[in-house]
Amino acid sequence: MSSQNIEQHLQEKKISEIINPKLLQVPPDVSVKRAVEYMQENKSAYVIVSDNNKALGIFTQADAVQTLFQSDFDWKRPIRDIMTKDPVSLSPNDSVMRAIDIMAEHSSYYIPLINEKQELVGILSVRTLIRALAEFYPAEVYNLPPDPHQVMPTPEGG
């Protein structure tokens, strides 16, 4: 990959090429408790609420503190009560560039990917995106010295 046309590259690169296959989804009538346990088991801070491959809503860490940490919260309520309905979505064929714009604009950290048949096919998380960006700039981002301001405390450096 030549490094001069990164912008062009970002415009051509499709989201489907950078996402990982992991996708957490639950049906809408599952209890909040079960959904949260599912997220904890998978160490992912989102879950998509879906029915027959259609994305109905999403629940992420951004909503968690406001809704879950109430003393009288009823954990048996279905997840559909607290999910964010009709989240912003993208197509897996959209460019990585568009994903950056959409995420920056909507400040959402997880974007469901919906194909042309309106089926849920994946999720793009902000971490995946930032990792992809870092990969476009291997020299600039990864080959940096661990600490640019490092001063050795002893002459030996040890």
Which stretches of the chain bind another protein, using CB under 8 A?
1, 3-4, 6-7, 10, 32-33, 36-37, 39-40, 43, 45, 61-62, 64-66, 68-69, 75, 97, 100-101, 103-105, 107, 109, 126-127, 129-131, 133-134, 137-145, 148-149
How far is the C-alpha of 14 from the C-alpha of 124, rounded, in Å?
11
Based on CB atoms, which residue is closest to another protein, 144 or 152? 144
Based on CB atoms, which residue is closest to another protein, 25 or 44? 44
How far is the C-alpha of 102 from the C-alpha of 110, rounded, in Å?
11
Closest contact distance (angstroms) between CB of 79 and another protein is: 12
Based on CB atoms, which residue is closest to another protein, 51 or 109? 109
Helices 126-136 and 96-106, axial angle in degrees (round to 10): 130
Based on CB atoms, which residue is closest to another protein, 40 or 93? 40
Closest contact distance (angstroms) between CB of 53 and another protein is: 26
- Joined tokens for residue 67: 């809704």
Cβ contacts of 18 within 8 Å, gap of 6 or more = 96, 124, 128, 129, 131, 132
Closest contact distance (angstroms) between CB of 117 and another protein is: 29
Closest contact distance (angstroms) between CB of 118 and another protein is: 27
Report helix, strand or coil for 84.
strand
- Joined tokens for residue 140: 């600039």
